[in-house]
Each structure stands twice: as C-alpha cells, then as structure tokens.
Structure 1
C-alpha cells in the first residue's frame, strides 16, 4: 500500500513538472518557416484548378504546421479559404497594385505561436513607398510584404520579408535591382534581430540575383544540417521539377533542416511549385 502511494505521489509530482518543462522545450524549439508559391487560381484544366487542389494544400500545411509561411501569387479568395480551414492561422498583405485586388505576397502565421509587432509593404521600384509603383521596365508591380514577429513562448523576435521577382529570362537585371533594394532595406534593420527572406525569385542559385542576395544573407538550403527532398522546385504541375526558383534566405539564424516538400496529399499536387521549408534556430542568448 505504501509503495503504491509513493508511486502515485511521484506520478503527481511529474505531472506538475510538465508545464515548466514543456515551456522550456518551447523556447528551445526551432522556428519552422515555409515559402510557397500557391499558383493564382486562373487554370481551368482538371487537376490544376484551385477547387481541385486547395484541399491538398490545406492537408500539406496542416501536416507541416509552419509557424509562418510566405506565399506568392496569392489572391484574396485563396487566403480566405486557407485561414478558414487552418484554425489558428491569420494572414496579412496588400495586393501588388495596392488594396485588396490582384496578387498578394500574403504572409500567414500561427497566432498561437507568433505575434505581429509591426508589418508593412514596399515596392521594388524607384519609389518603393508608392503602392503599385512600376519602374525598371517591369511588366507589373513587384513588392515585398514584411513583418517583425515575436515568438510568444520566449519573446524572441525576427523579421520576415516575402517577395516574388519578375519571371522572364530577360528580367535578370530587374531581379538584381530588386535584390539590391531588399538588401539595402535589410541593412537598416537592427543587427541583433534575425532575418528570414522567403520568395519565388525566378532565378537560380549562381545567378547574379542570387549573388546580390547572398552578399548579405545565407542560403538556408546550403546552411542546413540536414536536407530533404529534391533541390529543384518548379514543376508546372508535372511533379518533375526543372529549376530551383524558391529559396529561403537567412541572417542571424542557424539552420537545422531544410526540406523541399514534394508531397501529393490524396494524390493531388497542391501547386505548380513545391514549397520549401526551413527549421531555424535563434542565436543563443548571451549569458546562457
């Protein structure tokens, strides 16, 4: 009887200790970040239509459960569907021409994990604070949606910037100008707050655009302790990727793991790009 009482008491003490241990685990946990070109809902072919693939996208996101993910080619009806079917997630962003219309660089985050401290947008042009502005010969506005986030478990902060660069082969000089503008903006941010940049860059590693970015940022795939999935990301709904257009770039983070997610929930491809994902570690707190 006494032995049984002691076992019960020990179990009770262990149970009482779980919340504190759980909180400590949360503060030491990696930050999961995803970049996902969701493909604007313009396709009419079966399997490519938004209505045919949206539930596969939801299933993939539920399974991976990133703390935050930056999207490209997002329109408002897609955003509304995703937050309706992903409890706890919220999103923000402005259309590339300003307002709610057209494509967004929408950023989604798990509101149980993260709080938005501040957020905004700027355009990749000679007048970056003018919504919808186009210069440099771009066919359409290109922009960045950004936020300063705070993790609720430990108060740690980070910046996220999300973008989509122009797509034509002849647009490489314009992509370089966009990269330089983003890097210049990063230079004005506090050096002690880590930064992550997500996007469809429409250029591959080794390009002049990549070089412009990696003067100031590291490529999470190449920094990762573990890498999963194919290197290439754009597959045009074939499932066989041909180019590496989607990256995650970091400053101030360590990278535990990088994944290119070629999942087909229910046998359906969620988009014409594979999303990419990184598990990031905040720098150690001084004195700990």
Structure 2
C-alpha cells in the first residue's frame, strides 16, 4: 500500500472579475482536448482564445484539466496572468498529456503537490497496467486559502477511454479511493476528472462511497447534464465529474460557451461552487 503524503498548497488566481469570498471555492473540471492538427476547424489555434474567454467568464479558483499539453498550459497562463499551473506529463517530464492543475495565485497557496500513476506501480512515471494503452495518472495537491487559512486536499485525473476499459476504470477508482481514505477526516477533499464512464458505473459507485457528486448534491444546477459532445454542442453522456467531501456545494453547472459554431473543447467544462461550514477551520 502506498499512501500519498498530505500536501498543503498555496496558489492564487486573479481575474478581471471580483474574487470569490474568502470561505468559498469555485472549481472547474475541463478536458481541453489535446492540440491535434487533425481537428481541422477545431484545432487548438482556432479555439484557444475561446477557452481563455470561457475560463475568464467563469473565474474559477481552481481548474483540473485533462489532455493538456505544455504549450496549451503556458498559453493559457500567458493570457490569464493571475493563474499558475503545474503537473507532469503522463509519461514523466514535460511531453505528452498532463493532468494540469491551474489555480488563482491571489486566492490559493500550494503547500505541497505530487503525482502518481494508476497502475500496479503507481510511483513509476509512465507505468501502465490493467490492459489499457496509455499511462493514466493523478496530479494532486494540498491547497490553503490565502484569506482565512482553510486547507483542502485536491486531486485531478483522466481514466482510460475505451468501452473495454471498464475494469481498468474500476481499478483506477480503487487506487484513488485507497489514497483518499488516508486523508485526515477533517481535511476537505475535491476530486475532478474526465472519468470516461457514466454515473451508473462501478467507478462512480466506489468513489461516491466516500465523496459526493456535486452535480447530484448541489443546491442548484445549471446547463445540460451530459458533458462530452465531440465539438457538436450536443452532449451524449456525463463523464466529467467534480466529487467532494467536507464542503457544501451551493451550485453545479455545465458550461456551454461557444461562438460562431466553435467550442473551446470537445467536452463542456463543469463548475462547482463550494463553501466551508462556518465552524470549519481545518488545518
């Protein structure tokens, strides 16, 4: 059994919008679609500024991305100058896809951060098990709110995608659950990801044994339930989730920003608004 050390992270994000209140947290999960030249009219260079606009309008404190390449992450923080990002490529180093984590540097501080792989050897970068073709991983951190000092544990992931990978997704959920169970009970948890499976799956059932699904538990909901739309704007299944414990979910929404028939990605991003219970000052 491998247990992650707990991290306390500070990273703050600022936008030309009013920052959220000190005891609230706005989280986005966003599969940004890798920069493939095969995407034609939907290639990265033609949608990157729409992605910047989408993030700016939503003003999340924290963003978990999937399929992110370094050039994309660097472009986004170059345009959104009060954000920073971190994460390793899924094969180690800076190449290939990242589970890039973006945070507002005016709001959050990163205490510690790290990565592990969803495999039988989770500490080996790029490791693959369970019969799927690409490395899958988790990037995690402990964050602290700069105003107020509240801390929380955060993890971001991307599960295997093929229909036949359902057993591998279940194993991945088990590995994540094992690590989350080691997080102290008084430390809130937020988990974001493209899970490539629906809420009817064993993976969702495992993870929601410990966590809540913001789409289901939030006080208010907005946007379509499904999130993957393949650049069509018509989504067919909900595979992007924000899960949590130890916080109150005021709202959850699916963001459908588009312009002239173009979308920032082939997934709709999802956003959840959380707040700390008034009595909670967990450290």
Q: Same fold (TM over 0.5)?
A: yes
Shift of 1:213: 1.0
Shift of 1:135: 1.1
1:100-115 maps to which residues of 2 (within 5 A)? 100-115=94-109
Q: Distance in 2 between matches of 1:119 and 1:266?
A: 39
Q: Does 1:276 align with 2:270?
A: yes
3-state SS, counterpart of residue 27 of structure 1: coil
Task: State whether residues 47 and 265 of structure 2, in contact with CA within 8 Å, keep that contact through their aligned partners in structure 1.
Answer: yes
Match of 1:10 in 2: none
Match of 2:21 in 1: 26
Shift of 1:265: 4.3
3-state SS, counterpart of residue 103 of structure 1: coil
Select 2:234's aligned residue among 235, 240, 262: 240
Match of 1:58 in 2: 52
3-state SS, counterpart of residue 47 of structure 1: helix
The ranges of structure 1 where at least 4 consecutive aligned residues each deviate by more than 4 angstroms after the TM superposition are none
Shift of 1:44: 3.2
Shift of 1:94: 0.2
Task: State whether residues 59 and 265 of structure 1, in contact with CA within 8 Å, keep that contact through their aligned partners in structure 2.
Answer: no
Q: Distance in 2 between matches of 1:286 and 1:65?
A: 24
Unaligned runs of 5+ in 1: 1-21
Q: Distance in 1 between matches of 2:121 and 2:223?
A: 39
Select 1:49's aligned residue among 35, 39, 43: 43
Task: State whether residues 231 and 262 of structure 2, in contact with CA within 8 Å, keep that contact through their aligned partners in structure 1.
Answer: no
3-state SS, counterpart of residue 44 of structure 1: helix
How well do the aligned residues superpose, as a CA RMSD in angstroms? 1.6
Q: Distance in 1 between matches of 2:65 and 2:269?
A: 9
3-state SS, counterpart of residue 119 of structure 2: coil
Q: Which is helix-richer, 1 or 2?
A: 1
1:98-137 maps to which residues of 2 (within 5 A)? 98-137=92-131
Cα displacement string for residues 139-158 of structure 1 (whole angstroms, at most 9, x for unaligned residues): 11100000100000100001
Q: Distance in 1 between matches of 2:196 and 2:258?
A: 23
Bigger CA radius of gyration: 1
Shift of 1:286: 5.5
Task: State whether residues 214 and 272 of structure 2, in contact with CA within 8 Å, keep that contact through their aligned partners in structure 1.
Answer: yes
Q: Distance in 1 between matches of 2:44 and 2:248?
A: 35
Shift of 1:174: 0.3
Task: State whether residues 164 and 201 of structure 1, in contact with CA within 8 Å, keep that contact through their aligned partners in structure 2.
Answer: yes
Q: Distance in 1 between matches of 2:132 and 2:262?
A: 33
Match of 2:196 in 1: 202
Select 2:81's aligned residue among 84, 87, 97: 87
Shift of 1:282: 1.4
3-state SS, counterpart of residue 26 of structure 1: coil
Shift of 1:267: 4.8
Task: State whether residues 56 and 266 of structure 1, in contact with CA within 8 Å, keep that contact through their aligned partners in structure 2.
Answer: no
3-state SS, counterpart of residue 160 of structure 1: strand
Match of 1:13 in 2: none
Match of 1:226 in 2: 220
Cα displacement string for residues 215-238 of structure 1 (whole angstroms, at most 9, x for unaligned residues): 111100111100000000000000
